[in-house]
Amino acid sequence: MKIFDLMELAAEGYENRKVNVFFQNDVYKTRVIVLEAGGVIPECQMDTHVMFYVVKGEVTLRKNDESSILKENQVFITEPALLSMESASGARLMGVQIKTGE
């Protein structure tokens, strides 16, 4: 059994996000996302279902043409979509990509 502490996992910025993956199999890819104050994840067309859980802080999340605030202990789950996010004060999240049936 492996337990992951989302506050203790090391994480790098968006440009080097591949190193933030802490669990992956044929269906799931799970990573820690850290945004510094003023940090941005640019628009990205996701071909998978996606879940974001905010561990600390808050982000402004954009899905297609919608925008909403996602706060600590809140989770967002979506089908494939155009996504982006930013954080005015900084945030730590868990992001999970879930492959759709083909």
Dist. CA 58–CA 86, nearest whole Å: 9
Mean pLDDT score of the chain: 94
State the DSSP string of 43-64: EEE-SSEEEEEEEEEEEEEEET
What's the pTM value of the predicted model, to 2 decimals?
A: 0.91
Dist. CA 101–CA 20, nearest whole Å: 25
Question: Measured between alpha carbons, how far apart are the two ends of the chain, in Å?
Answer: 30
Handedness of CA 41, 87, 51, 80 (dihedral sign): negative
Q: What are 25-64's pLDDT values in tens digits?
A: 999 999 999 999 999 999 999 999 999 999 999 999 999 9
pLDDT confidence bin for 86, thresholds 50/70/90? very high
Return all residues near 8 (Cβ < 8 A) that are at least 6 apart: none
The HSE-up count of residue 95 (CA atoms within 13 Å, CB side) is: 24
Q: Minimal CA–CA distance to 92: which of 64, 43, 58?
A: 58
pLDDT confidence bin for 102, thresholds 50/70/90? low
